[in-house]
Structure 1
Amino acid sequence: MKQLAYGMCAVIAVAVAIGMFYFYGFSLLTLVLALVLFSCPVVVWMTLRLAKRSEEEIASGMRKGHERRNT
């Protein structure tokens, strides 16, 4: 459920950035705001990727620990 919410946040951020260019045109301020909004999906993607990797490493470590105790 969290991943869906993060994805929707990223889609909304991109839509707002594109709409900003459409309604207000190109200026330095709209460019800066658009860059901030476009960075949101990238940050979300990187955070989710690192979280998945961390969870996999923790699970792997737990499995190895249980295997060592049982042998």
Structure 2
Amino acid sequence: MQTGQSQSYNNGFGFYLHVLWKKLLIVLSKYYRVAFLIEQRLHNQDIYVIIHGSIYLFYLIIFMSYISYIRCYIVH
């Protein structure tokens, strides 16, 4: 019976992480749109590259940490 309860908790926690990840992606997409609008107004290719590069780097860091956490979560 204890195993069933912990399994149910783990599924709930995994679902919570999934929902949190989706919300984070929505927020990051809004920042991506803002960066695109800034680039359209400034018409400066250097600013465009810097802003988009930093956003892609942030996406990559978040994604890699998410994958790492899921790997640890599955192993344990």
**Cα RMSD for the two superposed structures:** 1.8
Contact map agreement 2:32 2:55 (CA 8 A) in 1:
yes
Counterpart residue number, 2:27: 9
**CA shift digits 1:15-35 (9 cap, x unpaired):** 122222111112434432332
Question: Would you identify which runs of 4 or more consecutive aligned residues in structure 1 move more than 2 Å?
Answer: 27-31
Q: Which runs of 5+ in 1 are unaligned?
A: 59-71
Counterpart residue number, 1:39: 57
Question: Which structure has the greater CA radius of gyration?
Answer: 1
Q: State the TM-score, normalized to the length of structure 1.
A: 0.62
Work out the CA distance in 1 between the residues paired with 2:40 and 2:72: 40
Contact map agreement 1:17 1:33 (CA 8 A) in 2:
yes
Paired-residue identity, %: 7
Contact map agreement 1:11 1:41 (CA 8 A) in 2:
no
Q: Which runs of 5+ in 2 are unaligned?
A: 1-18
Q: State the TM-score, normalized to the length of structure 2.
A: 0.59
